[in-house]
Structure formats: structure tokens, C-alpha cells
Amino acid sequence: MGRKNAKFRLAIWSVVTVVLISLFVGGLSSRHDDYGIFNVIQIGGIGNSSKNLNKINEWTIKTDNLKDIRVDLTVDYVVIRTTEEKDMKIVESSNYKLSEKEKLKISEESKDVKIYRNHDILSGLSFGRNKTRRLDIYIPETYKANLYVDNNVGDIDVLSNLNLDQFSISLDVGDLSIEGDISCNNFSAKSSTGNIEASIINTKQYDIKSSVGDIDCTGLSGKGTIKASTGDINCGIDRIDGNINIDSKVGDVEVRVADGLSFELDAKCSVGDLDSDFPITTSKKNGKEVMASVGENGSSTMKIKANIGDIDISKK
């Protein structure tokens, strides 16, 4: 954004961030009525340090007939990677002695497995000490069904390529980093407070949302929605299979589109600048809005909106 808007934007960022975090804390308080605002005081276990961690337990789970793997955690650093072994392996580590109530639980049925902790977030908080819990999940390369991961507080790192049907990740507080390439039918990533970073997402439909935090995706294929309430959006579009909606309330939007794609472009920013560097057949264009045809015979629409922030659309 131009310099004339810098101070204004900074003020808006500050106000919106405070409001969103206040709402978020209220939401946590409602979700875990017994614990209230202390859920977000001196949180431990959200970093990715492996120092001084001791293995607490290890499990192997057969995945031959599994349709669903569900992970439901409270305060953990989670690492997901693939393995050439035929069984899934789960390793629980910590730098302190876990009580029986804190220890990981695993529930197995015929076609699904649930990996979870009791929802007592206070047990994972650090009051005057650095308490860290880590969970390493090794998914067999042959597993092609559904994976759902929910973590209240803590980072999630996906280090390997995954080929799944449904892949869903949800965080309340923490960053999501996906280094591997993801192929799936449906992909969902949502964070209340934290950044979302992904490499290649090849899917039929995606839904990527962050309330407070940036979204950065190297390459997206499919159709879907990318939204950030307070944060920048930076994404590459490799393939378009339907309508795409990209929306940032407070933050810049940068979209890099692969050469040769055809689509209808509808881009608008309220406070900020709009720029595009590739040829478009324009039906409406000014400094704040573009409605145009990109390529030939585009049947899908890409809507890009920034309330307070710049929009930059370029060739990838």
C-alpha cells in the first residue's frame, strides 16, 4: 500500500487484531467452560523444539481396513510424515512426567481410529516452567482414506507427501506448515490464530481460512475458498476446476496464476492498490477494481477481494 495509507493501515491492523483475539479468547472460554481465559496464559508445548524430550509411549496400528484417522489434541506439537511400513506408528514424547489423565488415548474400531487427549487444556499449560508435549504420527504410504487433525494449541508440521481422500486440519492457536505435496479429493485447513503455509495442494476442492495470521500456498489446483480476516494471502494457482474465492479483510493479497489458464476475473480492493502484470481483456478497470476475461473461453470465476490491503495479480 502507498505510504499515505501506512499509518491508517497499522492502526486498523491493531484494532482488528485486538478485537479478534478478544473474541477468540471468549470462544475458547465457551468451548472449555471449566478453564476460561487461563487457556491462553503461559502456553507450553507449541514450539517445535525436540530438546530434552523423552519417549513416553509408542503404538502401532493396522491401517488395512481403516477409513478414518481422527486426531483430537489439546496442547501438543504435532509432526506428520509417511512411512514405508504397512502399519501406522504413533510416538508420544514429553519433557515432563505425564499424569494418567494427560497421557494419549487411542480408540480403535473396525474402520476408524481416534487418537486423542482428554480436553483439559490446563494440564498442558506452563505456569513457571517449560512444558512440552510432542506427537509424531507416521502414516503408511499405502493409506489413501481420510485424515482429520484437530489441535487446540500447538504447531502442526506435515513433512511428507500425502495421497488421501479427505484431509482436514484445524488449529485454535498455532502455525500449520505443510512441506509435502498433498493430493486429495477435499482439503480443509483452518486456524484461529496462526499462519498457514503449504507447498502443493492438488485437490478437487479446498477451504483454507485464518482468522489472525498469514496464508501462503505455493501451488493450488482445484476450486475453493481462501480467506484471512487479519493477514496477508500469497498463493499460486496451478489449475482451475471451478470458481475460486480469495478474500482478505485486513492484509495484502498476492495471486500468481500459471500461464495458459482461462477464467473470469473479478477483483476489488476498498483501501489499497490493485495491480496486474499479464494481458487481460478488460470490461472494467480502474485503480480499485478489475472485471475482465483472462485467456479464452473461461468458464470459472476468480473473485479476489481486499477490504484494507493491496491486490497484486501476476503470472506464475
Which residues, at least 6 apart from 218, have a Cβ–Cβ distance to it below 8 Å? 198, 199, 200, 236
Measured between its terminal Cα atoms, the distance across the chain in Å is 22
Q: Which of 221, 238, 242, 222 is nearest to 298 (CA)?
A: 242
d(CA 8, CA 21): 20
pLDDT score, position 4: 42
Task: Give the pairing of strands 215-230 and 301-308.
Answer: unpaired
d(CA 314, CA 221): 17
d(CA 152, CA 169): 11
Show pLDDT as tens, one digit a residue, over the chain (316 residues). Answer: 444 455 455 555 555 554 454 444 444 433 343 333 333 334 444 455 566 899 999 999 999 999 999 999 999 999 999 999 999 999 999 999 999 999 999 999 889 999 999 876 555 555 445 788 999 999 999 999 999 999 999 999 999 999 999 999 999 999 999 999 999 999 999 999 999 999 999 999 999 999 999 999 999 999 999 999 999 999 999 999 999 999 999 999 999 999 999 999 999 999 999 988 866 666 666 668 888 888 887 789 999 999 999 999 998 8
pLDDT score, position 293: 87
DSSP string computed for 105-137: EEEE-SSEEEEE--S-GGGGB-SSS---EEEEE
Backbone phi, then psi, for 15, in 5-degree steps? Answer: -65, -50
d(CA 251, CA 247): 9
**Which residues does residue 80 pair with via DSSP β-bridges, in sequence order?**
137, 158
